Structure 1
Amino acid sequence: MEIIFEQLSQQIINYKSYIFWLGAISFAIFIFSLMSIKWLVSLIPSDYFINKKPSKFKSKYPVMWLVSMIIKNLIGYVLIIGGILMLVLPGQGLFTIFIGLMMSNYPGKYFIERKFIAIPSVLKTINWLRKRSNQEPLKV
């Protein structure tokens, strides 16, 4: 047993800088999540899961729409990765993944979102966050 602890402590010493940066990145993602989740949840239209509306922005400004889609998808992917990390680290992992999924574009997105929001604990928590932002609850 003593040999295992000695080897473990040696590995920690060898990878000290990696462990530090992993902790720093985890902490930054945690802080970003805490600051942004409430705001992002409040941006979801209350009838998002009832009415699917086509984008007017896409037809009027196609180049700006493309740039905004690239930025939105990058933010969404970062949130998904952060949410996956938060499943094992401190933070609101499932909700961060949900927000990331909503921000990203992919085939079958609407179906997955509806299945995810149908989980009672997820809907309850999202509506609680919306209430704190003075937004009406999501209609499912």
Structure 2
Amino acid sequence: MSLFEALTAQESAAYWLALVSVLSFFGTLVIIPWVVVRIPADYFAGHKRPAKKRTYERSPVAMVCVALVKNVFGALLVMLGLIMLVTPGQGVLTMIVGILIMNFPGKFALERWLVSRGPTLALINAIRQRRGRPPLRLEREIGS
């Protein structure tokens, strides 16, 4: 069975896949820049994540709810990023933003490693520059 025959047999699934691809492409065009400009410029400058006060830490129920929503949304972005590696969209950048949103052990080291690779930092800083934000600083740039 050829690919065309398989798609014809599953026409409804093919339409849904195309719709999800188009929506995720345009959704990431809005969401990614919005998240990227909100990252503090010195977020990756140290060995540990900068401390941040959260107003919801007083209530354990609120903490669990926020963590659940963040992790589900982050995992969704990572999955969409994986799909966008083979369909139109900003796959790698979408996966990075999904990882930035989620909470898991070793996350900060993974974030720093991903952001420091190849053209990713240049793309992030180009988005930040267009929005009038300073570029992200990595640890190796502190002494410079």
TM-score (norm 1): 0.87
Residues 60 and 15 of structure 1: CA distance in aligned 2, closer, same or farther (over 3 Å): same
Q: Which of structures 1 and 2 has the bigger CA Rg? A: 1
| Aligned residue in 2 for 1:37 | 32
Of 13, 16, 35 in structure 1, the residue corresponding to residue 11 of structure 2 is 16
More helix by percentage: 1
| Aligned residue in 2 for 1:47 | 42
* Percent sequence identity over aligned pairs: 33
Of 51, 64, 67 in structure 2, the residue corresponding to residue 66 of structure 1 is 64
**1:83-138 per-position Cα deviation (integer Å, ceiling 9, x unaligned):** 11111111111100110111111111111111111113111100011111221111
Unaligned runs of 5+ in 2: 139-144
| Aligned residue in 2 for 1:111 | 109
Contact residue 41 and residue 126 of structure 1 kept, 8 A: yes
Q: How far did residue 22 of structure 1 move? A: 0.8
Aligned length: 135
Of 130, 133, 137 in structure 2, the residue corresponding to residue 132 of structure 1 is 130
Residues 36 and 8 of structure 1: CA distance in aligned 2, closer, same or farther (over 3 Å): closer
Contact residue 39 and residue 133 of structure 1 kept, 8 A: no
Ranges of 4+ aligned residues in structure 1 off by more than 6 Å: none
Instruction: Give 1:95's aligned amino acid.
Output: L
Q: How far did residue 8 of structure 1 move? A: 4.7
Residues 23 and 126 of structure 1: CA distance in aligned 2, closer, same or farther (over 3 Å): same
